[in-house]
Amino acid sequence: LQVWRSCLVECLATGAFVFASILIIVSCSQQSASPMTAISVLHFLVISFLILSVAPSSGGHLNPCITFMAMVLGYVSPSRVVMYTGAQCIGSIFGSLCMKLVLPHEVAHKFALGGCTIRNSAGAGFPVGSAFVAETFFTFFLMFIVATLALDPFRAPVFGAILAPTFIAAAVGVLVFVSGGLALGYSGAGMNPARCIGPAVVMGSHNEELWRGHWLWWVAPYFATVLVAVVYCLVPPHHVDIYRGRKDFISSLKKAFGSHHPQVPSETRISSENLTP
């Protein structure tokens, strides 16, 4: 029952995120000729608020790739990954449907319901190969921050339940900003398969650009997540052993060059283990 409740929270939170994201994109694009700054800042605020709100209930993933990374690091089971991913996709479709009912048909069609596109109907945009590389590296950057700040057992207590979601949301905002203006017709980094599938399903065949290369918005993020998992497992982001080795190296140098210090009584001597970070 607890897992089903968490899935419901993920579904509703992802739906709220997608609804707000589409609203931000359409509203800012209609009000400004250079909307990327406003879009990135507003995405940062929305994601921060949502993660902070639902993290105690479900973990605040809102992204199938984050759920997959949590499974790789041993926090959730494979069955929960399947349930969360389904709930996030259903929430995205629900949020997109609600936004389509709010927007006039012409506006929804003009902006492709704020969905993920490689090229627009006029053919302007990115080649599939370039878009795949860009999506892989953008998602790698985001997932590396998620793994090392929010999911790492040594670093998570340091950043806490407020700073970690804030930094993750800030990373999303930065990546949205830098990727949104790369090419006309390219929507920018998706980094979230659930975010991309909602508008595509709701618009259906009315916007073919949403389905053109849609596989990329799934394959590239998961590929990047696997790369982050490999890097994380091979090179953990904590260096206690390195600091210990440094102290041992310095002490060996002192002994080699005959640097002797007055003997300190054992009851007042500070253990080197206590000085290790």
| pLDDT tens figures, 122-165 | 667 788 899 999 999 999 999 999 998 888 888 778 888 889 99
The reply to whether 256 falls in a domain is no
What pLDDT does residue 252 have?
60
- Confidence band for 216, pLDDT divided at 50, 70 and 90: very high
More confident residue, 238 or 75: 75
What pLDDT does residue 235 have?
80
Other Cβ atoms within 10 Å of 201 Cβ, number: 16
Full domain range(s) for residue 62: 1-238
Tell me if residue 24 falls in helix, strand or coil: helix
What is the rounded average pLDDT for all residues in the chain? 86
The reply to whether 104 falls in a domain is yes
For 91, how many CA atoms within 13 A lie in the half-sphere containing its CB? Answer: 28
Residue 240 to residues 68, 74, 183, 201, 276: CA-CA distances in angstroms?
A: 27, 22, 44, 48, 7
- Contacting residues for 187 by C-beta, under 8 A, at least 6 apart: 112, 115, 116, 117, 118, 180
What pLDDT does residue 273 have?
44
pLDDT at 178 over 90: yes
The reply to whether 274 falls in a domain is no
pLDDT at 274 over 80: no
- Confidence band for 7, pLDDT divided at 50, 70 and 90: very high
What pLDDT does residue 133 have?
94
- Average pLDDT (61-69) is 95
Q: What is the CATH number of the domain that holds 228?
A: 1.20.1080.10
| pLDDT tens figures, 188-214 | 899 999 999 999 999 987 778 889 889
Structural tokens at position 172: 């999303």
| pLDDT tens figures, 26-64 | 999 998 778 899 999 999 999 999 999 999 999 999 999
Q: Tell me how many domains the chain contains.
A: 1
Tell which residue, 53, 50, 83, 85, has the closest CA to residue 66. Answer: 85
The reply to whether 57 falls in a domain is yes
Asked if 238 and 154 touch (Cβ cutoff 8 Å), the reply is: yes
What pLDDT does residue 275 have?
39
Instruction: Determine whether 167 is exposed, middle or buried from the number of CB atoms within 10 Å of its CB (0-12, 13-18, 19+).
Output: middle
Phi and psi torsions of 191, nearest 5°: 60, 5
Other Cβ atoms within 10 Å of 261 Cβ, number: 6
Instruction: Determine whether 262 is exposed, middle or buried from the number of CB atoms within 10 Å of its CB (0-12, 13-18, 19+).
Output: exposed
pLDDT at 18 over 70: yes
List % helix, strand, coil for the chain (3-state, nearest 5).
Answer: 75, 0, 25
H helices of 59-183, where? 64-72, 78-102, 105-110, 128-145, 156-180
- Confidence band for 1, pLDDT divided at 50, 70 and 90: confident
What pLDDT does residue 246 have?
54
pLDDT at 241 over 70: no
The reply to whether 277 falls in a domain is no
What pLDDT does residue 269 have?
44
Q: Distance (Å, rounded) from C-alpha 80 to C-alpha 91?
A: 16
Rama region for 62: left / alpha / beta (φ>0; ψ in -120 to 50; rest):
left
The reply to whether 248 falls in a domain is no
For 226, how many CA atoms within 13 A lie in the half-sphere containing its CB? Answer: 6
Residue 62 to residues 101, 166, 168, 208: CA-CA distances in angstroms?
A: 23, 14, 12, 26
pLDDT at 247 over 60: no
The H or E element containing residue 244 is helix 240-256
What pLDDT does residue 264 have?
47
Asked if 23 and 39 touch (Cβ cutoff 8 Å), the reply is: no
